[in-house]
Amino acid sequence: MRIQSIGSSGLALGGLALLASSCATLSSIERTAASVVVSDDQEAQLGLQVKSELETKQNVKYCGDPQVTEYVRGVAGKVLALAEKDRPAVKWQVNVIDDPGTVNAFATPGGYLYVYTGLLLLADNEAQLAGVMGHEAGHVVARHSAQQMVDQFGLDAVAQLALGKNPGVLGQLGKTVVQKGAMLAHSRAHEDEADEYGARYSSAAGYDPHALSGFFTKLKAKVGDTNTLTTWLSDHPATSSRITHINSYAQQNGLNGKDLGADRFVAIRARVAALPPSSGVSNAPAPRPAAPANSPPN
Q: Which is nearer to Zn ion, 78 or 186 (CB)?
A: 186
The count of C-alpha atoms lying within 13 angstroms of the C-alpha of 213, restricted to the half-sphere facing its C-beta, is: 21
CA nearest neighbour of 265 among 72, 69, 62: 72
> Cβ of residue 191: shortest distance to Zn ion, in angstroms?
5
Determine the interface stretch with Zn ion among 95-103, 114-122, 123-131, 194-202 (rule: CB under 5 A).
Answer: 194-202
Virtual torsion, Cα 196, 202, 204, 206, nearest 10 deg: -150
> Cβ of residue 3: shortest distance to Zn ion, in angstroms?
29
Q: Which is nearer to Zn ion, 6 or 82 (CB)?
A: 82
Q: Does 236 bind Zn ion (CB under 5 A)?
A: yes
Determine the interface stretch with Zn ion among 76-84, 169-177, 191-199, 217-225 (rule: CB under 5 A).
Answer: 191-199
Orientation angle between helical segments 14-37 and 2-9, nearest 10 degrees? 170
- Interstrand relation of 105-108 and 112-116 (parallel, antiparallel or unpaired): antiparallel
Dihedral class, residue 119 (left if φ above 0, else alpha if ψ from -120 to 50, else beta): alpha
Q: Does 242 bind Zn ion (CB under 5 A)?
A: no
Q: Does 194 bind Zn ion (CB under 5 A)?
A: yes
Q: Which is nearer to Zn ion, 186 or 242 (CB)?
A: 186
Phi and psi for 281 in degrees, rounded to 5?
Answer: -120, 155
Q: How many residues bind Zn ion (CB under 5 A)?
A: 4
Residues 148-177 that bind Zn ion (CB under 5 A): none
- Residue 3 burial (CB count, 10 A): 12
CA nearest neighbour of 159 among 46, 29, 33, 41: 33
CB-nearest residue to Zn ion: 236
Q: Is 53 a catalytic residue?
A: no
Among candidate residues 136, 191, 193, 196, the one labeled active-site is 136
Q: Exposed e or buried b for every residue in 140-168, given b needs 16+ CB within 10 A? A: bbbbbbbbbbbeebeeebbbbbbeeeeee
Q: Which is nearer to Zn ion, 6 or 103 (CB)?
A: 103
> Cβ of residue 235: shortest distance to Zn ion, in angstroms?
7
Q: Does 200 bind Zn ion (CB under 5 A)?
A: no
Q: Which is nearer to Zn ion, 98 or 136 (CB)?
A: 136
Task: Give the catalytic positions in this structure.
Answer: 136
Contacting positions for Zn ion (CB under 5 A): 186, 191, 194, 236
